[in-house]
Amino acid sequence: MNEPPRQLTLAQWDERHARLAAAGLREPAYGGRLGRHFEDGDRRLSRLKFDNSPAALRLWNFLLSEEERLFAARDAGKKIVGTMKDLGTVPVMAWSLPEVVAFYPDGAWWIPCVMELDDRLLAVADSLGVNESFCPVRAMLGAFATKTKFPTPDLLISSVGATCDDFSAIAQRVEGLGHPILWWEIPHRREPELDEEAVDLPGNADLLIGSGEKSPLRRVAFPRLRAPRSQVEFVHGELERIRAALEDLAGRKLTDAMLADGIAIANENRRALAELRRVVFTAPLAPLPSLELLIAEMLIIHFCSDRAECLEVLKELLAEARRRVENREGHFSLDAARVFWVNPVADLRVMNLLEACGGRVCGTDYLFSHALDEIPEALPPMESLARSALADPMAGPARDRAGRILAEMALFGAEAIVVSRIPGASHCATEGEVIAREARRRGWPVIEIEVPPVSDALSPQIAGRLEALVETVKARRSR
């Protein structure tokens, strides 16, 4: 079943699927041809290139079947919780209750891309006065208004405070449509004052890199992320309000023991993803393309509505990546420019475009690096979750985020940064400048591009900028 790594079109994947099925490929219940998703309306798939491994097939099928999974959970009597904006913390709590399924309605922001605007979610948002001056997450408003893309949640929870204004404003409009929201405050993270107790947040680990054989071992120091004890306690209190709401919904206690179990399972998923990122980003040849890695990272924030299956999907991808590295197989060329990518793209096709331009992704910050870090297991679970929530890169200053990006660049051997602006997003006016300033201080090339949900019209300009970056990287190597 294994073929040398290459990227396939949708039609080529369907042919390969037929061969795999005939050869006895075993798939989960949601498996099957990728082409059926296109036939169901996911038209963008016909413009993407996919990794040819069965592991990637499983990943895509897992992602594209989430809507069915959520409706099936509703039919099975599960309580559906829509968690919004915090990207990684509240779902860990919700999934600790067996009666509850949690997902991010925010994820609707990719529907216009995947369906090439046929979904009309953006048009509905327009009709509600939320036009293109807002981030594409406005598709979420259209999804709530049309009630077609996911089951209406039994409970909606949204973080607010140190979040982007687009999201907060759009979520408020969702509430105005008759969907009550439990708002919880995430304060702007700050350095402790001299007279305040400081608390370390997740993501502080210094890491040893290098195999010790061809590349020497060296330590990459991550910036120390801290917050005042008072902020951790405040967030802890906010999460207690969420715990009470979840208990009301589930009709049972959400004990510390249940939360500890939930954290352990979340960490198992996070460890698998961390290892997958390390293997892929540090390999001489990319064992998996950037698009599949982007999707894999996205799974982690709410497990794509199936926590156990999410782990299996990640493990299979990891096994495939390791196998390819051992066999010295991979995508693209050995001299592909190693790029660190900042922010998720509204149009998935742009990840393919980078690779077509001679680059590959070796490091990412898709707005939720706190969801990649393990949640401390040695602390009381609610405090651990509060620390994890406060480590959100969007809750603190952009220079904290830049610090981690630069540390990860060193860890993964990235050579340049692409800051992908999200159209209309309140944070994009300034964060790219802060990140670029820090990167240029250390000599890294940086470009900013802006990617709308369907970027075909802008493709030549985006490609031109990516090609220029790739050329710059290669020119620097020869100096």
Regarding beta strands 337-342 and 359-365, do their DSSP bridges make them parallel or antiparallel, or are they unpaired?
Answer: parallel
Q: Which of residues 129-158 bind other proteins (CB under 8 A)?
A: 129-130, 133-134, 158
Residue 401 as a binder of other proteins (CB under 8 A): the answer is no
Residue 164 as a binder of other proteins (CB under 8 A): the answer is yes
Contacting range for other proteins; rule: CB under 8 A; set: 32-40, 92-100, 360-368, 420-428 = 420-428
CA atoms within 13 A on the CB side of 226: 12
Provide the minimum distance between the beta carbon of 259 and other proteins in the complex, in angstroms, as a whole number.
Answer: 20
Spatial separation of the C-alpha atoms in residues 362 and 416, rounded to whole Å: 9
Q: Which listed residue (98, 237, 284, 380) binds other proteins by CB under 8 A?
A: 237
Residue with tokens 């498996």: 31
Residue 433 as a binder of other proteins (CB under 8 A): the answer is yes
Spatial separation of the C-alpha atoms in residues 244 and 157, rounded to whole Å: 12
Q: Which listed residue (27, 67, 175, 247) binds other proteins by CB under 8 A?
A: 175
| Cα Rg of the chain, angstroms | 21
Residue 223 as a binder of other proteins (CB under 8 A): the answer is no
Q: Which listed residue (97, 313, 421, 439) binds other proteins by CB under 8 A?
A: 421
Task: Choose between 32 and 187: whose C-beta lies nearer to other proteins.
Answer: 187
Q: Which listed residue (67, 132, 154, 185) binds other proteins by CB under 8 A?
A: 185
The residues facing 421 across adjacent strands are 450
Q: Are 96 and 262 in contact (CB under 8 A)?
A: yes
Enter the tokens of residue 449. 């591009």
Q: Which of 391, 448, 443, 393 is nearest to 414 (CA)?
A: 443
Q: Which listed residue (147, 188, 229, 440) binds other proteins by CB under 8 A?
A: 188
CA angle 445, 450, 451 (to 5 degrees): 125
Q: Which listed residue (9, 12, 168, 472) binds other proteins by CB under 8 A?
A: 168
Number of residues that bind other proteins (CB under 8 A): 46
Residue 392 as a binder of other proteins (CB under 8 A): the answer is no
Residue 372 as a binder of other proteins (CB under 8 A): the answer is no
Residue 183 as a binder of other proteins (CB under 8 A): the answer is yes
Q: Are 290 and 51 in contact (CB under 8 A)?
A: no
Provide the minimum distance between the beta carbon of 239 and other proteins in the complex, in angstroms, as a whole number.
Answer: 11
Residue 193 as a binder of other proteins (CB under 8 A): the answer is yes
Residue 190 as a binder of other proteins (CB under 8 A): the answer is yes
Beta-carbon contacts of residue 342 (< 8 Å; ≥ 6 apart): 364, 365, 405, 417, 418, 419, 420, 432, 435
Greatest CA separation found in the chain?
A: 68
Spatial separation of the C-alpha atoms in residues 379 and 86, rounded to whole Å: 21
Which residues here bind other proteins, judged by CB under 8 A?
128-130, 133-134, 158, 160-166, 168-170, 172-173, 175-176, 181, 183-185, 187-188, 190, 193, 230, 234, 237-238, 241, 397-399, 421, 424, 426-431, 433-434
